[in-house]
Structure 1
């Protein structure tokens, strides 16, 4: 016969014990080893400067270590090595004479060049013969010289020409920025930038686009500005303005008219009266005018640089001195002024 089963055994554990066990599992983690790493100081360096490949968390049981150029641990790329016990430093095929190795495994790169840009691998040989490897990197940049701007057209014609401004020289790994009138470039349908931002094109240029223009170049280690460039935008002439605005003159007086039109370069002026050429000057002067000097006065402005010309016509009236009623009619304002003067005299009497 099979003996009856024994009753199950019941363990009585105090609830405080459960809490303590749970707390240990919750808050206790096994210690972890800090990871070996490399920090490049600085990560972006200027040519001719120094870079320190600073090693963090070097294993305590390290027997020695080697540095290699690149990501691979290969003998031909070995730069230098160090044996901890003997404190002996050795060099490899990739050693250039500009590297200095410290006992803490950090590697100092001196007088760096563009060829030094890239990856560097540290191999740590440990007591348990299980090697550790870690890779770091840095970049070397040239300090930028002062840029300059070249233009395909330094004297464009308004509303006719486009102008391309190019920031020189062309340099790799460089950011190009533009400033107009001391301000950052604003988005406009009349402005176009090349894919690398080196060339700024102004479409259908106007007289307001003279500038000055500056280009700025930047890389991770330096920045520089060009000298400002101003464009000589050719424009005009606009419609000439004849001054003064008077149209009636008394006989026996002098007639002096001046003509001006906005233009770059300055316009060349000529005058004609009633279709007859008078002179090539900006100002017209006639002494002791008579009724014969009445008529249409035309100012002609011409810009030889743009090939454009404009005219303005002004009618001048000189009454006939022999006809009493031919004097200019007084304006309402003039009539009121005379009446006030007469009334004032009557009051004084």
Structure 2
């Protein structure tokens, strides 16, 4: 036992030494960074472009290049060269070759299994297209003393073209009178008769050296100021603008009339009353736009002549994404431990997230999760966030300490369930929110067991001067499975607490490890007074909503209180119950995706800021609805029907067996009934055959022959061709039937049965019998058309019987 104890102690020392060594290596590895990164380029055809990449690892660094996500192989491309980490590309002159060269280029640098990927650099080839097809002449009228805006629609170009204006054939110099708006439109102040004439714009590309003149010209006519005229709209703002955060924006709104129209702007921000803006000469100028600049803007034009013009536009400020990585577990990690990395992003529109591991794409999700770490999982993890404005990335090193030996842990109190060992949640991280509340956050390993709910427990350890320990308290209320944070209220100042999280899984429960000692400090400082503003709530799927908010800038941040995070409150609008809460750490995070929501339901959402001293006021409540489920196609319905026929449990299997037995029984009964019916039909057919034979033999008797004269008389009385009541024609083939079903007799007569002079053939008695039968058939068909059909049939049968006898 002593030797085993010494061996375990030695193994523990080796593990500690390895962890310290890994920490030193991490300090070196985390200093890996790019000293030179590739930058986006626009080059003319036939030129050569260079991309540079270098890290601070020295001469032993490993560098390779990616084009549109695929590794470049210089041996397979004659236009590509790589030397000392520098990539050079010879741009083709043919357009079909250039399209294969453009795109995204990234370099991956580092050493061994510690590789870092750069942000992508875009390569485009310079070009200039022709102006779009528009009307050749545009008539513009304006009164003296007014301001006029002439528009120019530039052609597609990379880089953006340089716009110049010409009057007649003379180039206009930009002065206070002539100003270029949005780098394309010409704004003329205080027009006079000398400004009348023809104007046209020209686009030039400085890389290709090309210039194209617009085929569309503006004919400006200047009217006298004495001619009174209602305001006429010359240019209205576009329906929407998307400036980048911190950039400048100029939006024109031009009109002419006499007297000169008054033009001013109003701004209606989200959840705020409208404000008036001073638009000089009808130009709305926004310098260094912020998130508060978003909203609806209205241009109002009037000149007292009884006409008022209103035009609205929507401004949405776009923000370049910023990414950061967080985790609830400290580095280094042991082999077999779970790993959860969260990519926290800020930016608008909501950035798309992608994860890289040692320079290779891993996944696209907010959370990167590894259930059980291996030694090969150690390396650099990068999170890339990209939207319409740009892309940014951040990296973190994950160290994995291998197990020195396999040991079996024997625990007597570990709860078990039917599916195996229950894995408890992690020890909670505790953050003070106010003088009497704290926020807890925790994580769960990636398990397949069904989590029913969480419970929060805490223990009061008293003060430092009076350390009285209480029993464990359980907070009322269940916490839903997807939630990993909770606020505990009703705590006492200056007291020390410990917290732990319990989880109920498959009707069994287990308790996680205890948190560190937490001291609820007393402070005179205040919580944040800033009010967050919800910008957008976008439905991403049937069960998730993306929430975007902003915080207005404050003049004195010390008086307003610092911000250390945000609370997102949400609830189902139909339930009107208590709000669920999500905790967001970090003042720079202004977006979050709420998941595990009900599909097609409306939700109330609000946000508030917090710090260690308290919480701030709520933002105005906004409402959003998750996406409704899509209508199933015919194929999906068939699939669902097939799946519905599959037994899902034991009861369904029993019902299926009973149904099969009943089906077999029905098939047997149908078979028996069919056999009985066939036998009866055969007996009836035999009976009918015997009856037909007797009648036929009776007609063969020579005593029943009828003279030719009688036959001639009967034929004259009843024509050869007659019609049944059913509408069928009876000709030289005759048929007699009794509808009672007791007797059926058929006869056939050929052309030799009688001659052209209606004489009796040599066949004798057989022909006479057939003629008599034919006469009876024609007589009965005639009588069937008579109203007293049934009585006539009976009389005819009696007459025919007496003749035969």
Instruction: Report TM bin, short chain.
Output: 0.3 to 0.5
- In terms of fraction of residues, the more helix-rich structure is 2
- Higher RCO structure, 1 or 2 (CA under 8 Å, sep 6+): 1
Normalising by structure 2, we get a TM-score of 0.20
Task: Please give the TM-score of this superposition, normalised by the length of structure 1.
Answer: 0.42
